[in-house]
Amino acid sequence: MANKPTPKKSAVTETTAAETSKTTKKRAAKKAAGAKAKAAAGTATAAPTKATPAPPAPETTAKPLLPRIRAGEETAALRPMPLVHAFTRAEPSTTVTAPPESMAQPAPARKAKPTPKPKPAPAPAAEPSAKAPEQPTTSRDRGPEPEPTPEDRPDSGYQPEPEPHPEPQHEPPPPSAYHEHRPSLFIVQITPEMAPVAKVGGLADVVFGLSRELAIRGNHVEIILPKYDTLRYDHIYELHEVYRDLWVPWYEGAVHCTVYFGFVHDRKCFFIEPHSHDNFFNRGGIYGFADDVFRYAFFSRAAMEFLWKAGKHPDIIHCHDWQTALVPVFLYEFYQQLGMTHPRVCLTIHNYKHQGVTGAELLRATGLHQPERFFDRLRMGDNTHKNALNLLKAGVVYSNFITTVSPRYAFETKDGGQGFGLEPTLHTHHMKYGGVVNGIDYDVWNPEVDHHLPVPYGVDNIDAKYDNKRALRHRLMLADNEKPIVAFIGRLDPQKGLDLVRHAIFYSLEHGAQFVLLGSSPDQQINNDFWGLKHMLNDSPDCHLEIGFDEDLSHLIYAGADIMLVPSQFEPCGLTQLIALRYGTIPVVRTVGGLADTVFDKDFSDRPLHERNGYRFDNYDPPGLESALGRAIDCYYQFPEHFRELMKNAMRSDYSWNHPGQDYLNIYDFIRNR
Ligand code: ADP
């Protein structure tokens, strides 16, 4: 057996040890005995090289890659956008979904009109043959336009008074670092989640990280969230009321709301609190309620009503998943009629599995009183269920651009059978569909400065990672031996490949590895299954399953583990493998979605050696999993220098928001200029 790094000294503090779960403590004595017996001697392998990780360099030379398209030229000039990228191999450090070169060419030579004005993009751009809804615009944009026909008027029975309010004055002006290169945009993100105040999954991290990147690049970014009772208020600074009486149309009346403002680690956030006996956001949790569709339909309407009443006219409204997919519908069906013609909408779909499918009641609640119009398959009518409405589909139809979170997933959802019924809709709207790989926030996920870690480390002092490995073992009462630690962190959802996770636990234990799991599920049955497994393995000194959500522990696992397992059935992007890469923890992943776009197999990739950063398997079955996990464990033991090189490759790759931030700005420019 080859040498393997021996931790130098336990860095665990009293506090860390005290956090250990009760269950674990019960078996502490047994594990401690095992630990002593198995403590391995060995020396650290070759010293790290001098290479430094690529910092997320500011984009001082950033330029919009897309041509400015003048009025009258848009039809000829537009080409299918980033989806093209789905078929090309992305560079590991530049998974940019910018338009291909051909996109950056000037529009076909056609004389521009003397005073070209941007034209608002058509909203529900259904099939070419379909009648698209009317697009009222400002006279500033297009000059006088005919009144919308009665058919196109909103039929909510409610016409809010235009009551523009000044925006809160306490916000600093946007930074100007990039002003000389591109105009600053006013971007509003409307979202059901944002880390760390309201986090269920990766969507929360994306909103947090992307917002920061956009702000760094000189844009003014605001975020609108529900005011959940479960918000992490300890992360919200200067929370105060900014709009006391917001009346949001709902059924035949209106619901009274209050809007709060606060900073979440410098992000400017508005929180909407409805005062109604529906008690939409005081449920002790974020999702999982029978009326979720109505809760988020209400939130979407409330967010739009707030923008309107507060006199905010963002350049871009960026919404996320089915929960806020009605935002563009409300914009184009209601608020454009009232004069809000400026914003363009980008919808990011983080997961097609959840689409917000519901019945006609939604139309009554939201004031979209034209069933024949909205049940139309070209608008909101579900592709599978005849009498159902599909919110995510509505978002696809009405948004100016739709992104999903990796080029490969964009391809899989449109053409690979992963669209959960939305494939025909994506084909119809392919011109405005593409994939952008998520980034991770390097302020939060950076082993060099991560305050959750007892010992910070980077690619230049990679040995310190093993102090964190020791700390992890100490905290979870695992034996301190020569074995690699295989970890899984994630929602315990069938999507994540739970049967393969179970298989991997036993496989790892049988093949000389330890296993750590951190995960939870809203599904009690799944939780119970994993509790059963935990009890079964309770006496093993090499295994710890932590059922629950624990952000702090997740940092220590990313740092302390050697191998991160992500065996998903499907994976839109996946953040765990990106974070693992940053922490030099080698990902073992299935070749799907964003995993395939970001992890390159040590043995079988056609990339140069220095770009290979993990292990992949194709088939969703135990032999498939073993083919990759087995190679990773073997490499750890038999070729530690190779394993170490892989760790360095992983840590050097740039999966910050640097590139995705630019990609999103290109998309914003694209839809603003249409
Ligand atoms: P998804 O969005 O499908 O849940 P992602 O991989 O995109 O999956 O994002 C998961 C994020 O949530 C990661 O940041 C991961 O570390 C975190 N996470 C998932 N489960 C847990 C948990 N039980 N405790 C702490 N963090 C978790």
Q: What is the mean pLDDT of residues 634-651?
A: 98
Tell me, using a 6 A CB cutoff, whether residue 383 lines ligand 1.
Answer: no
Tell me, using a 6 A CB cutoff, whether residue 214 lines ligand 1.
Answer: no
How far away, in angstroms, is 575 Cα from ligand 1 center?
7
How far away, in angstroms, is 378 Cα from ligand 1 center?
35
Tell me, using a 6 A CB cutoff, whether residue 520 lines ligand 1.
Answer: yes
C-alpha–C-alpha distance, residues 71 and 83, integer Å:
24
Tell me, using a 6 A CB cutoff, whether residue 395 lines ligand 1.
Answer: no
Q: Which residues contact 115 (CB under 8 A, 6 or more apart)?
A: none
CA-to-CA separations, 128 to 54, 378, 520, in angstroms, rounded: 46, 11, 45
Tell me, using a 6 A CB cutoff, whether residue 552 lines ligand 1.
Answer: no
- Flag whether pLDDT at 163 surpasses 60: no
Indicate the SS3 state at residue 124.
coil
Per-residue pLDDT tens over the stretch 332-380: 999 999 999 999 999 999 999 999 999 999 999 999 999 999 999 999 9
Percent of the chain with pLDDT over 90: 71
467: Cα within 13 Å, side-chain hemisphere: 17
- The radius of gyration of the chain's CA atoms, rounded to the nearest angstrom, is 26
Pick the atom of ligand 1 nearest to 558's CA.
Answer: 16
How far away, in angstroms, is 174 Cα from ligand 1 center?
31
Residue 422 DSSP class: -
Tell me, using a 6 A CB cutoff, whether residue 494 lines ligand 1.
Answer: no
How far away, in angstroms, is 518 Cα from ligand 1 center?
9
C-alpha–C-alpha distance, residues 480 and 296, integer Å:
48
C-alpha–C-alpha distance, residues 252 and 237, integer Å:
36
Structure tokens, 455 = 């010992």
Contact (Cβ atoms closer than 8 angstroms) between residue 259 and residue 211? no
Alpha carbon dihedral 207, 209, 213, 218, in 10-degree steps, equals 50
N residues, the chain: 674
Tell me, using a 6 A CB cutoff, whether residue 527 lines ligand 1.
Answer: no
- Flag whether pLDDT at 167 surpasses 70: no
Which range has the worst mean pLDDT, 10-24, 163-177, 455-469, 610-624? Answer: 10-24
Pairing of strands 253-264, 220-226: unpaired
Per-residue pLDDT tens over the stretch 587-602: 999 999 999 999 999 9
Question: What pLDDT score does 181 carry?
Answer: 67
Q: What is the mean pLDDT of residues 575-579?
A: 97
C-alpha–C-alpha distance, residues 408 and 658, integer Å:
20
Q: Which residues contact 531 (CB under 8 A, 6 or more apart)?
A: 547
Question: What pLDDT score does 180 carry?
Answer: 52
Question: What pLDDT score does 182 carry?
Answer: 78
How far away, in angstroms, is 472 Cα from ligand 1 center?
18
Per-residue pLDDT tens over the stretch 247-303: 999 999 999 999 999 999 999 999 999 999 999 999 999 999 999 999 999 999 999
In testing the pocket of ligand 1, which one of 491, 496, 592 has its CB within 8 Å of the most ligand atoms?
A: 491
Q: What is the mean pLDDT of residues 107-121?
A: 35
Tell me, using a 6 A CB cutoff, whether residue 550 lines ligand 1.
Answer: yes
Most trustworthy range by pLDDT among 16-20, 164-168, 423-427: 423-427
Pick the atom of ligand 1 nearest to 405's CA.
Answer: 7
Question: What pLDDT score does 466 carry?
Answer: 97
Question: What pLDDT score does 201 carry?
Answer: 86
How far away, in angstroms, is 557 Cα from ligand 1 center?
12
- Flag whether pLDDT at 109 surpasses 50: no
Q: How confident is the model at residue 522 (pLDDT cuts 50, 70, 90)?
A: confident
First to last CA, the chain: 62
Question: Atom 20 of ligand 1 has which residue's CA nearest to it?
Answer: 490
Question: Is the backbone peptide bond immediately before 196 cis, with ω within 30 degrees of 0?
Answer: yes
Question: What pLDDT score does 420 carry?
Answer: 97
Cβ burial of 508 (10 Å; 0-12, 13-18, 19+) is buried
In testing the pocket of ligand 1, which one of 199, 549, 552 has its CB within 8 Å of the most ligand atoms?
A: 549
Tell me, using a 6 A CB cutoff, whether residue 661 lines ligand 1.
Answer: no
Among 273, 220, 213, residue whose Cα is nearest residue 243: 273
How far away, in angstroms, is 380 Cα from ligand 1 center?
31
- Flag whether pLDDT at 634 surpasses 50: yes
Contact (Cβ atoms closer than 8 angstroms) between residue 121 and residue 77? no
Q: What is the mean pLDDT of residues 446-451?
A: 97
Tell me, using a 6 A CB cutoff, whether residue 519 lines ligand 1.
Answer: yes
Pick the atom of ligand 1 nearest to 440's CA.
Answer: 14
Tell me, using a 6 A CB cutoff, whether residue 289 lines ligand 1.
Answer: no
Which residue do the tokens 């779960």 mark?
Answer: 21
C-alpha–C-alpha distance, residues 30 and 43, integer Å:
27
Question: What pLDDT score does 93 carry?
Answer: 33
How far away, in angstroms, is 202 Cα from ligand 1 center?
6
Q: What is the mean pLDDT of residues 18-46?
A: 41
Question: What pLDDT score does 35 carry?
Answer: 44
Contact (Cβ atoms closer than 8 angstroms) between residue 175 and residue 218? yes
Structure tokens, 277 = 């006996």
Tell me, using a 6 A CB cutoff, whether residue 201 lines ligand 1.
Answer: yes
How far away, in angstroms, is 579 Cα from ligand 1 center?
10
Tell me, using a 6 A CB cutoff, whether residue 67 lines ligand 1.
Answer: no
Question: Atom 26 of ligand 1 has which residue's CA nearest to it?
Answer: 551
Tell me, using a 6 A CB cutoff, whether residue 575 lines ligand 1.
Answer: yes
Per-residue pLDDT tens over the stretch 35-89: 443 433 333 333 333 333 333 333 333 332 222 323 323 222 222 233 323 322 2
C-alpha–C-alpha distance, residues 544 and 541, integer Å:
8
C-alpha–C-alpha distance, residues 385 and 538, integer Å:
46
How far away, in angstroms, is 568 Cα from ligand 1 center?
13
Structural element, H or E, at residue 241 = strand 236-250
- Flag whether pLDDT at 99 surpasses 60: no
Q: Which residue did the predictor score with more confidence, 79 or 632?
A: 632
How far away, in angstroms, is 656 Cα from ligand 1 center?
17
C-alpha–C-alpha distance, residues 576 and 580, integer Å:
6
How far away, in angstroms, is 139 Cα from ligand 1 center?
47
Question: What pLDDT score does 161 carry?
Answer: 44
- Please report the DSSP string for 545-572 in residue order: EEES--HHHHHHHHHH-SEEEE--S--S
Q: Which residues contact 569 (CB under 8 A, 6 or more apart)?
A: 494, 495, 496, 497, 590, 592, 620
How far away, in angstroms, is 12 Cα from ligand 1 center?
25
Structure tokens, 175 = 């930074």
How far away, in angstroms, is 498 Cα from ligand 1 center?
14
Mean pLDDT of the chain: 80
Q: Which residue did the predictor score with more confidence, 79 or 409?
A: 409
- Flag whether pLDDT at 573 surpasses 70: yes
Question: What pLDDT score does 622 carry?
Answer: 98
How far away, in angstroms, is 601 Cα from ligand 1 center?
23
Question: Atom 9 of ligand 1 has which residue's CA nearest to it?
Answer: 202
Which residue do the tokens 């059922």 mark?
Answer: 547
How far away, in angstroms, is 489 Cα from ligand 1 center?
7
Indicate the SS3 state at residue 11.
coil
β-sheet bridge partners, residue 259: 243, 272
In testing the pocket of ligand 1, which one of 19, 523, 576 has its CB within 8 Å of the most ligand atoms?
A: 576
Cβ burial of 41 (10 Å; 0-12, 13-18, 19+) is exposed
Q: What is the mean pLDDT of residues 603-624?
A: 97
Which range has the worst mean pLDDT, 16-20, 455-459, 559-563? Answer: 16-20
Cβ burial of 649 (10 Å; 0-12, 13-18, 19+) is buried
CA-to-CA separations, 566 to 129, 200, 547, 596, 625, in angstroms, rounded: 43, 18, 17, 11, 10
Cβ burial of 252 (10 Å; 0-12, 13-18, 19+) is exposed
Query: Alpha helices, DSSP H only, in 287-341?
Result: 292-309, 327-330
Tell me, using a 6 A CB cutoff, whether residue 481 lines ligand 1.
Answer: no
Cβ burial of 650 (10 Å; 0-12, 13-18, 19+) is buried
